Amino acid sequence: MHFFLRSILATGIVLAAAPAYAQQAGKITISGYVRDGATGENLIGVAVVNPATGQGTATNTYGFYSLTLPEAPADSVRLLVSYLGYERSRWATPATRSATHDFRLRAVSSELGEVKVIGSQATEERIERTTRMGTINVPIAQIKSLPKLFGETDVLKVLQLLPGVQSGGEGQTGLYVRGGSPDQNLILLDGTPVYNASHLFGFFSVFNADALNNVELIKGGFPARYGGRLSSVLDISMKEGNMQELHGEGAIGIVASKITLEGPIKKDTASFIVSARRTYLDILAQPFIKAQLAADGSNGSIGYFFHDLNAKLNWKVSSRDRLYLSAYTGYDKFYARIRDGASRSRDYSRTEASLGWGNLTSALRWNRVVNNQLFMNTHFTYSKYQFNIGQEDEQRYTNNGQDRTDKYSLRYFSNIRDFSLKTDFDYVPSPDHYIRFGGQYTLHSFRPGALQQKDNFTEEDNQINLGTRTMASEASLYAEDDYRLTDRLKVNGGLRVNAFLVRGTLYPSVEPRVAARFLLTEDWALKAAYARTTQYIHLLTNSGIGLPTDLWVPATPTIKPQRAQQLSVGAARTVRFKDEDYELSFESYYKPMQNLIEYQEGASFLGTVDSDWENKVTSGKGWAYGGEFFLQKKTGRTTGWIGYTLAWSKRRFPDLNQGRIYPYKYDRRHDISVVAIHKFSPTLTLSGTWVYGTGNATTLSQGRFLLGPYQEFEDYGERNSYRMRAYHRFDLDLSKTKKKKWGEVVNSFSIYNVYSRRNPYYLYFQRGYSYNGVEEEKASYKQISLFPIIPSFSKAFRF
């Protein structure tokens, strides 16, 4: 392992040094940043093109671009910069020497009404010309425009509307991508992994849209720079803070409120952004809960709340160097404190229970422009996720004239912590090559479960097992090149090498990645991609809704890492209709998976302490395959998309379902989403979404037998052999913007589940009964539906 790490370091130094001093005769390089003209925010994926030759590039995650062109002593270079939602910018320079130039783009003003942004292949890389497959970027403005549940804008709920992405159930934020499970999604916030991205037991995500700059989902064809998960990468970037002036925005909703402040610490040099959100469910419900407890002869409180805090500092150290410090913390807590008996009574019983879970992430990042062709990003990150379950009981009573007090307490907790150091390089030697390479080292600390029980009968803790931490080291080295071989053929090829060391066992992996596009015509392209991936961590779960009691555990000498391969092929083109562009794509995929784990029959997280979990799981295989259709319109007064997915997802475990293949719980044959956003005017927007999905698979008892007077046996038959009813729902949102002297106010009225569809949440068995030998009601399964039609209102403001 130490040799591997030394190899990563040495290789990185050699690769970094080589291009830094390379000379290219007869070439000039123009480089710099592209930023928002009003805020100074770096813009990602901006097209920078030389229209005379059609050669171009795009800005990276930090807004940096580099374009190398032939030297032309008798001519000049005229660059054209274009980005959706911004006015185009032009700049010219003599074609005799390299130069540095930063672009400041002006956002298109909403006061202009309808503004058509017309792309051309000379200025923007259209969908048929990029090598990427299964990658979708969702603009933050579009996320905020869509219908809201309880007035809360939710990033993950919007991503569930994309083809190939499913939700776990009604109103939940879990992501099931191309037949994978939630733990197989690499969720990054400013490059730091987030292990549990849900609030309110899965109904809201931890991401505050007001604090975000970019959201990108990768479902397949993974570039070599990403690793560690099998199904998807969700790469989310926070805003960097306004460099010019103080700005703020916020919202007041039914269940939560939020506020964001950003501004310069020193104009054009340093900035900050702080964003906070808190729910007030516990405060609003408290009077009703106290009244109900009093009616039952008790007093106390029961409540639930969650909060988020995002913060980021951005410091421009020099024209070549920039430092960032960002952090996120979020926490959910359910609590109950109940005391039975009169307030002054000597005899009483008291119970306190709590359930809490939360994330903490932080990142220190250094960007450096090594030279006009080489960009370096180094960051150190820390990530932690934990949950705690606690209960304390106290009973005071009189026994034989003596006062006695019995006490009992239980605490169960679990956590995972990561320390990571990563360095990435972007090297652009010519418009035909975009090379990325780098390495990463992560130190994992796992505590799958720890149990502590106390009572007053012994002076010391009894039945205590605090669990032992499992330490693991993970290292990786990668390189990739987006290479244009000919005008028709472009290839992104890469290789990722990983190693994972745990309890003296080393798990290496070599992961080739390749994606290619071939232009059949100027408008049609065929695409294909292959990726091999390895995942060294597992999520033990008893359900599919991302409960906080799900346990993160590492691969061990007895539990192997998950592995998968994904092959995808498809076609893409841009269709022009009535002077507007529509992106059309079709992708099919096949993904076999190995070393998946599940709890054995009857096992759960309770009692899963120390290394006991390894004896309670079983390993198996999985397969996922299907096809996805996507039609998207990005410009004009009406925008949105239509997505359709036809998919299969299966599992096979030797110790489950008698070793036979069975459908995965979220095997969904058909999935349809229709999304539309229409601007009637610069201040009035109407949006709507309609979704349809085949019902989830579940396991139901096929028969019940009495083995004795009090013992009953249930025959469950085939695993996941029953289908719930199909899921479908229609949502609407109407937003009106009012201009004020100090800013603007946006009033939004949303309706969730407009036609009040009773979608299944889960099923339960209800026994039948007879009276005087006559059957009054037959035994049957009953459906629980969670959300009927739900209107909500929110008020947002900006200044």
- Is residue 707's pLDDT more than 80? no
In this prediction, residues 289-303 reach a mean pLDDT of 77
Worst-scoring range by mean pLDDT, 99-113, 170-184, 369-383?
A: 99-113
Full DSSP string of 451-478: EEEEETTSSS-EEEE----EEEEEEEEE
| Residue listed under structure tokens 């399964």 | 781
The span from the first CA to the last CA of the chain, in angstroms, equals 53
Q: Sorting pLDDT into bands at 50, 70 and 90, what band is 780? A: confident
In this prediction, residue 498 carries a pLDDT of 96
- Is residue 457's pLDDT more than 80? no
CA distance 772 to 774: 6
Q: What does the pLDDT look like over 709-762, one tens digit per residue?
A: 666 666 677 888 888 899 999 999 999 999 988 889 999 999 999 999 998 887
In this prediction, residue 112 carries a pLDDT of 42
In this prediction, residues 601-615 reach a mean pLDDT of 63
In this prediction, residue 174 carries a pLDDT of 77
Q: What does the pLDDT look like over 346-363, one tens digit per residue?
A: 777 888 888 888 999 999
- Is residue 18's pLDDT more than 80? no
In this prediction, residue 21 carries a pLDDT of 42
In this prediction, residue 10 carries a pLDDT of 47
Q: Sorting pLDDT into bands at 50, 70 and 90, what band is 338? A: confident
Q: What does the pLDDT look like over 51-65, one tens digit per residue?
A: 888 888 889 988 999
In terms of CATH architecture, what is 135-392+409-450+462-798? Beta Barrel (2.40)
- Is residue 607's pLDDT more than 60? no
Q: 111 or 287: which carries more pLDDT confidence?
A: 287
- Is residue 7's pLDDT more than 60? no
| Residue listed under structure tokens 């925005």 | 249
Q: What does the pLDDT look like over 421-442, one tens digit per residue?
A: 999 999 999 889 999 999 999 9
Nearest to 662 by CA among 596, 578, 759, 743: 596
In this prediction, residue 23 carries a pLDDT of 45
In this prediction, residue 749 carries a pLDDT of 93
In this prediction, residue 8 carries a pLDDT of 44
Question: Which residues are 455's β-sheet partners?
Answer: 408
In terms of DSSP bridges, do strands 212-218 and 135-137 run parallel, antiparallel, or are they unpaired? antiparallel
Nearest to 591 by CA among 630, 631, 628, 557: 628
Q: How buried is residue 712: exposed, middle or buried, by Cβ count under 10 Å (0-12/13-18/19+)? A: exposed
- Is residue 156's pLDDT more than 80? yes
Q: Is 247 helix (H, G, I), strand (E, B) or coil?
A: strand
Q: Which amino acid is at 623?
A: W
CA distance 49 to 81: 6
In this prediction, residues 116-139 reach a mean pLDDT of 67
Q: What is the DSSP letter of 757?
A: -
Give the CA-trace dihedral at 587, 593, 599, 602, to 10 degrees. 70
Contact 46, 81 (CB under 8 A): yes
Q: What does the pLDDT look like over 532-568, one tens digit per residue?
A: 999 999 988 765 444 556 778 899 999 999 999 999 9
The answer to whether 26-108 and 135-392+409-450+462-798 have equal CATH topology is no
In this prediction, residues 596-616 reach a mean pLDDT of 70
- pTM exceeds 0.95 for this model: no
Q: 586 or 578: which carries more pLDDT confidence?
A: 586
Q: What does the pLDDT look like over 758-775, one tens digit per residue?
A: 988 877 777 777 676 666
Per-chain mean pLDDT for the chain: 84
In this prediction, residue 123 carries a pLDDT of 41
Per-position b or e across 299-334, b if 16+ CB within 10 A of its CB? ebebbbbbbbbbbbbbebeeeeebebebbbbbbbbb
Q: Sorting pLDDT into bands at 50, 70 and 90, what band is 786? A: confident
Q: What does the pLDDT look like over 467-515, one tens digit per residue?
A: 578 899 999 999 999 999 988 999 999 999 999 999 999 999 999 999 9
In this prediction, residues 449-458 reach a mean pLDDT of 66
> What CATH fold (topology level) applies to the domain 26-108?
Immunoglobulin-like (2.60.40)
Q: What does the pLDDT look like over 627-671, one tens digit per residue?
A: 999 999 888 889 999 999 999 999 999 988 888 999 998 899 999
Nearest to 225 by CA among 528, 493, 15, 587: 493
Give the contacts of 189 (CB within 8 A, at least 6 positions apart): 207, 236, 238, 328, 361
Q: Sorting pLDDT into bands at 50, 70 and 90, what band is 465? A: low
Domains of the chain by residue range: 26-108, 135-392+409-450+462-798
Percentage of the chain exceeding pLDDT 70: 86
CA distance 134 to 217: 8
Give the contacts of 219 (CB within 8 A, at least 6 positions apart): 134, 135, 136, 164, 165, 177, 178, 231, 232
